[in-house]
Amino acid sequence: MTETFLQSGTIYYACEWLIRILMLMVIPLRRTPEATRSWLLLIFFLPIPGLLLYLAIGRPRFPRWRGQRFETAASILSPRLQPLQCVDAPGEAARLAAKLGGFPAVSGNSVELLGDYDGTIDRLIEDIDGARSHVRLLVYIFADDATGSRVAAALARAVERGVAVHVMFDPVGSHRWKKGALAMLAATGAQVREALPFHWLRERTRRDMRNHRKLFLIDGTIGYAGSQNIVDKGFRTGIENRELVARVTGPAVAEMTAVFLSDWFLETEVMLDDGVTIPASTGNAQAQLLPSGANYPLEGFQTLLIGQLHRAVRRVVITSPYFIPDESLLEAMRTAVLRGVEVDLIVSAVVDQPLVSLAQRSYYDDILRAGIRVHLYRDYLLHAKNVSIDGELGIVGSSNVDLRSFQLNEEVSLLLHDRGSIGALETVQAGYITDSDPLSIEAWRKRPRIRKIAENIARLVSPLL
């Protein structure tokens, strides 16, 4: 009995060291230093549980079949968007974004920024009620609550008029409402699909690689892009969301359409359109769509943001509810300040995800010491995600400034290149700062020691969040 126990212990001990040695060769491949450090730390302390967790969520890539399907969709859609290529890119950021996401900057658009939560839903419903051809919604959360029911009722009215309605939502983001939402949407007559559904018996990747995009399209001529889901603004008890959405008309809507059609094709192998129609010019705004995700060779939003931080000369304003940067982004922000650039970070004082908030706060001391100004938005969860740089570039979209949005989620950002649209975004951001409390390094360093310890522990696992 004792001998058997000793043999079992020796085998277990040998397995632990075999796992540690093998993972030293496997984990560093195609990972940031921060993620590598966190995974190796976990594996060395808890080899077998760490290995099981790694097998579940440790490989940030899609299976081969999905990559092949993505390439097929691109080959179908690219020729249909060829007329957009004739528009000259207005600057370096536009050229970089075109390389990263495949879409050019286009002029002739009208862009309206919507910050009133219920007002945005009202406007969407009004547009759905005016739809004549099709309505397409891609969203992270579609709830069967009061807000979702209002939108579903509008979709049902559209179907009754003969409008084709397609809805795609993320089953993990919508898990609280999934069953009810599926039933509610099916009752409208819309075609409904889950984005990145999880199947135990089918080759898939991490369950936490999610489609986090928010795109609402009406007749191929009106498009919404931003941070807002289809759910009540107070769906978390005691917390009310504040969002920012861009309502766009003009040629840029064709790029939004292409992203939706590609995502639908990835889940169904059905290309909805015989062709993508390029909408007529409606204004003077220059806009460009930047999709990002695991199917793209680089982290698009992160690469663009870091590149523009290094080129900034006057001011950068970053708004994000979740701020968990890697070292390259932190270094770009520090370097910008050293060059004399004003860098403002607007984050929410209201917390909805405690562990993420702890990890986020662990960076405050570093960025405050670097001279970056931190503004804590009062009273509401500021869920909006936007950036302005030097009055030359504006970004409104779904991507947070964290490793999850950079590397794991399917995201979409609308880039603004004209002074009018960027000025409107800067006005919105000025309002955020007015409604925020500045954070000083002196006040921050007075927080309790136990909180500092919790923040440092959360920071160690932040690359895994």
pLDDT tens for 279-314 read 999 999 999 999 999 888 788 999 999 999 999 999
Q: How confident is the model at residue 372 (pLDDT cuts 50, 70, 90)?
A: very high
Q: How confident is the model at residue 457 (pLDDT cuts 50, 70, 90)?
A: confident
Q: How many residues does the chain have?
A: 465
pLDDT over 80 (residue 183):
yes
What is the mean predicted confidence (pLDDT) over 88-94? Answer: 77
Q: How confident is the model at residue 324 (pLDDT cuts 50, 70, 90)?
A: very high
pLDDT over 90 (residue 318):
yes
CA angle 120, 242, 232 (to 5 degrees): 65
Query: What would the pLDDT profile of 433-444 be if each residue is shown by its tens digit?
Result: 999 999 999 999
DSSP string, 175-226: TTTHHHHHHHHHHHT-EEEESS---TTS----TT--B---EEEETTTEEEEE
Query: What would the pLDDT profile of 2-56 be if each residue is shown by its tens digit?
Result: 656 556 667 766 787 787 777 777 766 556 666 676 777 777 777 777 777 776 6
Query: What would the pLDDT profile of 220-248 be if each residue is shown by its tens digit?
Result: 999 999 999 999 999 999 999 999 999 99
Q: For residue 404, which of 336, 326, 456, 308 has the smallest C-alpha distance?
A: 326
Phi, psi for 155 (deg, rounded to 5):
-65, -40
Query: What would the pLDDT profile of 327-348 be if each residue is shown by its tens digit?
Result: 899 999 999 999 999 999 999 9
Query: What would the pLDDT profile of 126-146 be if each residue is shown by its tens digit?
Result: 999 999 999 999 999 999 999
Q: CB under 8 Å to 310, separation ≥6 — which residues?
A: 332, 335, 336
Sort strands 106-114 and 285-292 into parallel, antiparallel or unpaired.
Answer: antiparallel
Neighbours of 65 (CB within 10 A): 12
DSSP label of 85: G
Nearest-angstrom CA–CA distance, 412 and 107: 19
DSSP string, 352-369: S-HHHHHHHHTTHHHHHH
Instruction: Name the amino acid, one letter, at 381.
Output: L
DSSP 3-state of 145: coil
Instruction: Name the amino acid, one letter, at 380.
Output: Y
The chain-wide mean pLDDT, for the chain, equals: 90
At residue 265, the pLDDT reads 96
What is 64-290's CATH number? 3.30.870.10
Residue with tokens 């967790």, as numbered in its chain: 53
pLDDT over 70 (residue 86):
no
What is the mean predicted confidence (pLDDT) over 89-98? Answer: 86
At residue 370, the pLDDT reads 96
Nearest-angstrom CA–CA distance, 454 and 434: 30
Q: How confident is the model at residue 170 (pLDDT cuts 50, 70, 90)?
A: very high
- Does residue 125 contact residue 150 with C-beta atoms inside 8 Å? yes
pTM: 0.89
What is the mean predicted confidence (pLDDT) over 182-195? Answer: 97
At residue 18, the pLDDT reads 80
Residue with tokens 């504040």, as numbered in its chain: 242
CATH superfamily of 300-464: Endonuclease Chain A (3.30.870.10)
Q: Where are the beta strands (DSSP E) in 368-419?
A: 373-377, 381-382, 386-389, 393-397, 401-402, 411-416
Q: CB under 8 Å to 149, separation ≥6 — which residues?
A: 184
Q: How confident is the model at residue 404 (pLDDT cuts 50, 70, 90)?
A: confident
Burial (CB < 10 A; 0-12, 13-18, 19+), residue 71, is: exposed
| Inter-helix orientation angle 252-268/64-80, to 10° | 150
At residue 352, the pLDDT reads 93
pLDDT over 60 (residue 464):
no
